[in-house]
Amino acid sequence: MIDNLSMLLKVYLTAIPLIVLIGVYCIVVTHNLIRVLIGVEILTKAVTLLLIIAGYVTNNTAFAQSLIITLIVVEAVVVATAAGVILNVFKNNNSLHVRNIKHLRG
Amino acid sequence: MASSLILIPLIAVIIFNLPIMASHKRLPLLFGVVFSLWQAWLALFSAGSLWGNPVFPLPLLSGMHLQVTHLTLVMYLAIAIAAGSALVICWYTLEDGNKRFDVINLILLAIAGMNGVVSVTDLFTLYVFIEVVSIASFILIALHKDGDALEGSMKYILMSAIATLMMLSAIALFMMTTGSTAFGEIAHALRTQPDSLLRGTAVGLFLGGVFIKSGSVPFHGWLPDAYASAPAGVSVLLAGIVTKTTGIYTLIRLVTAVFGFSAHLQTLLLAIGALSIVVGALAALTQTDIKRMLAYSSISQMGYIVIGLGTGTTIGVAGAVFHLLNHAIFKTQLFANAAAVEEQTGTRNMDALGGLAEKMPVTGITSIIGFLSMAGVPPLSGFWSKLIIIIALWLSGYRWYALIAVAASVLTLAYMLSLQRRVFFGKLAAGFENLKEAELGIVLPAVILAAISIIAGIAFPFVLHRLILPIAAGW
Amino acid sequence: MTSVIDIILAVLTTLAALWAVMKGTLLRAAIALAATSVMVTIILFRLNAPLAAVFELSVCAGLITVIFMSTLSLTKPRTYEENMQHTKKRFSRYWLLPPIVGIAAIALAIFIKPFSLYFPFATSGTDVRSTLWNLRQADIIGQILILLVGVFGIIVLFKDKKKSGKEI
């Protein structure tokens, strides 16, 4: 049982940093605001996985589940708000380019 | 009892939005002001035993696991002062009735969220309430939907998303290594278990998230944009209390109650604090926009709080918390003054202003009091908190940091004098011959806050014994 | 045997995330993001978290994809020529990602040794509903607050600027 658990930990603790890497690369490199949001979503997926792994290996999945449910509700509201802001950026500039949010400096 | 400070605004907002309440548009403002006054009164004069009672008459909600410490009481007071002023200023600076109504409701929800942030005892619940306050702030910043506002809001959304994801990963790692997310159990596990890579990563990630949230240098990029581009009343709320609660309070609470002081952590806090003080003050000197200058000065003042925490001594932490309260008072007031100037003149560019004290005497005088308090001139309250922090630094042997703190006070004086000179003193700028003082609703909060600065400075022994020493006695 | 399934699931999730980032058009990227959510859902089911899995599937793969789609439909799609040109430019920025992920995968696979944790932990109860209601009441209050904030956010952000006010 212990062996299975530690193997599982190894597998997912390898995959989660990779997903984080993909999300961060997306946020840093992209020029499109919606893609930035997609990057944030990918990072959220990685965190969801990390939470359930933490619950599973400590034999506490019920607890981890209740955290994940709350996290998903928060995530949906954040995405809706961000989408609203991005839509208004588009209405003002007729473009989704990241340069539209790079005017203020200094 | 602590739960009622979260639940009453929540229930009130639901009631205000019932269809039968549609004609009472002024009621939310009235409620917000009364609630703020009540909260301030509770924080100042309630007996300690009150907070333990599950006074809220719902046995169903006895499992919220809230805890009111002396630190929490100071924060309740700061929240009441800053958010109450922001409510009034928002009401009088917005014209559109529907927008007003939405904004007041959002601020009430943010108050409930902040009261939650300062009273929870669980990392994940802390995250949830931080998100409540942050999402409300995103929306409030973007209120007018012009280019700058949307830019400030979007930057805040991104930085905040990254910060909360770092905190959440830390929470998951803590769960993995300690089996719990409660403050007490994590603190216990951190003391008793051997150190490990996962645990170190968790502490580091959480601190990183909190530093981003608090806008400490070098994670401060989003803060001036968010503060300056928000509507006038909203920047009062943001600068006065939101980033202080979600960032700095969280940092103080976690370091004192969960992580505990260690040599590495203290070095980190002192370095980030000193960097924030200096960089914030230098950047403030070069600004031409009133609100941007005040935003950079916020970064600098946050540095004092972080450096006070970094001493790791009871007196340093007490000074840091006191400065947090003072900052809520004088920064709220200075942003209220900025709102009055922006409202009456239509500009925030200091080069286009000048000599306004002649036409707006109340705003001019309160602004001087605010800036003297921030620069640490006796006997105003800002003097005492800076003094405590500097003494704490000196006593614990960080003499260089003490010197930096003193030297930066001079910088504070310099940029605030420059602000006063360019906006209020000198010859009246062209085009403002018919300028009038701002409405009572905008001026009155500033007058009250300036009065609090003076009274808290003169009645310093009372504040010290009532609010600050209990924190030093045991956090 | 069990670990083989885990490896496959982990690899598929990573590939789905990679696909979401690399895909040329935003619409396909949103679909790939939904696919990532579906993979996470399967992992949640596998790790004894059926309720969280249902939430992940309905909210993340469902609702959030709908939000992305409607945002995309309200913004202007590019023309075909613009798209071709854009794809070329994109390639120069994104071609590095798959090799980086590959190298990082190998490095992590070598670096992370299978390890077990220090303590056997006590369970706090197996029923998620009772955990949520008895231990996490503050979270539920927080959720209600967040949903209310979200409602106001939608009112404020999606109201048409022309109708909603004079001041800009």
Residue spans of the domains in chain B: they are 1-260, 261-475
pLDDT at B63 over 70: no
Contact flag B150-A89 (C-beta cutoff 8 Å): yes
Q: Point out the residue among C135, C145, C152 whose CB comes nearest to the CB of B139.
A: C152
Res. A70: pLDDT tops 60: yes
Q: What is the pLDDT of residues B221-250, one digit of tens each?
A: 888 888 888 888 899 999 889 989 999 999
Q: What ipTM score was computed for the predicted complex, to two decimals?
A: 0.93
Query: Is the pLDDT at B94 greater than 70, yes or no?
Result: yes
> Does residue C26 have a pLDDT over 90?
no
Asked whether B387 and B406 are in contact (CB, 8 A), the reply is no
Nearest to A104 among B151, B161, B173 (CB): B151
The pLDDT of B290-304, averaged and rounded, is: 91
Interface of B with A in 9-38 (CB under 8 A): none
Q: Which chains touch A (3 or more CB pairs under 8 A)?
A: B, C
Question: In terms of residue numbers, what domain contains C144?
Answer: 126-168
* SS3 of chain C: CHHHHHHHHHHHHHHHHHHHHHCCCHHHHHHHHHHHHHHHHHHHHHCCCHHHHHHHHHHHHHHHHHHHHHHHHHCCCCCHHHHHHHHHHHHHHHCCHHHHHHHHHHHHHHHCCCCCCCCCCCCCCCCHHHHHHHHCHHHHHHHHHHHHHHHHHHHHHHCCHHHHCCCC
When pLDDT is averaged across residues B298-324 and rounded to a whole number, the result is 91
Q: Residue C11: inside a domain, yes or no? A: no
Percent of chain B at pLDDT exceeding 70: 96
Closest chain A C-alpha to B135 CA, distance in angstroms: 7
Give the pLDDT band of residue B38 (cuts 50, 70, 90). Answer: very high
**Domains held by chain C: number:** 1
CATH 1.10.287.3510 fits A2-101, yes or no: yes
* Of B367 and B48, more confident: B367
Q: Is residue C78 part of a domain?
A: no
Are A6 and C115 a contacting pair at CB < 8 A? yes
Q: How many CB pairs under 8 A join A and C?
A: 229
The whole-angstrom distance between B82's CA and the closest CA on chain A is 25
Q: What is the pLDDT of residues B361-388, one digit of tens each?
A: 888 889 889 888 888 888 888 899 999 9
Return the pLDDT at C168: 37
Its pTM surpasses 0.90: yes
The string of pLDDT tens digits covering residues C100-136 is: 888 888 888 887 776 656 555 555 556 767 777 677 8
CB-based burial label for B282 (10 Å; 0-12, 13-18, 19+): middle
Task: Please check whether residue B135 touches A, CB under 8 A.
Answer: yes
Q: Is A96 on the interface with B (CB under 8 A)?
A: no
Given a cut of 80, whether residue C78 has pLDDT beyond it is no
Q: What is the pLDDT, as a whole number, of residue B191?
A: 84
Domain boundaries, given as residue ranges, for chain A: 2-101
What pLDDT is attached to residue C1?
56
Backbone angles phi, psi at A66, to 5 degrees: -65, -35
- Average of per-residue pLDDT across B426-453: 82
List of chain B residues whose C-beta atoms are within 8 Å of the C-beta of residue C165: 95-96, 98-99
pLDDT at B62: 62
